Amino acid sequence: VWFGNVKTVLLTEEKSRRAILDAIRKGKMYAVRRSPEAELVLDYFEVIDPAGQILGGMGEEVTVSGAVRLRFGLSRSDDQATSVHFRLIRNGEVVKEEENTPLPLAIEVEEELPFDQKSYYRLIVQEDRHDSLVTNPVFVTRKQIQEGNRITTPAGSSESLL
């Protein structure tokens, strides 16, 4: 969807009315301000488990038991060498920021969250040419695992509920 030099990219499996409305409803989209020649491309922005399996992405709510692991990848539609300034935001605060990072890039970030608190992450990217990209958020809650009458934390320690 185009608005001047700003484009909303909908992440769908197919080009159908149903798929497009589903992507909008679920928040599976990002916005990019682009030059006429090319644009920044979000290759992926997702929460993963320790084995690297995808737990969720933009617009989704994910529950984790251990540290939050996020990964994202960026490139340009014309594959031209350039660099970007990116900020990974959690609840309005910058948790990772890098300048002059060459494209394409692949970043993985891990951080601890308090238990039972929903947080959101979003990515903001600025290219040297004043092009930019902003993701919709992914929501993450860290929960303790309850097994019978014991609560186990990811580090393996446990305490009795009795």
Higher pLDDT, 147 or 43: 43
Average pLDDT of span 96-117: 93
pLDDT of residue 147: 61
Is the pLDDT assigned to residue 16 strictly greater than 50? yes
Q: Could you tell me which residues come within 8 angstroms of residue 23 by beta carbon, excluding any fewer than 6 positions away?
A: 10, 11, 12, 29
pTM for the structure as a whole: 0.83
Tokens of 127: 């290219």
- In the predicted model, what is the mean pLDDT of the chain? 87
Q: Is the pLDDT of residue 126 over 80?
A: yes
pLDDT greater than 60 at residue 46 = yes
Q: Which of 119, 108, 131 is nearest to 44 (CA)?
A: 108
Q: Which residues contact 58 (CB under 8 A, 6 or more apart)?
A: 11, 27, 28, 29, 30, 45, 135, 136, 137, 138
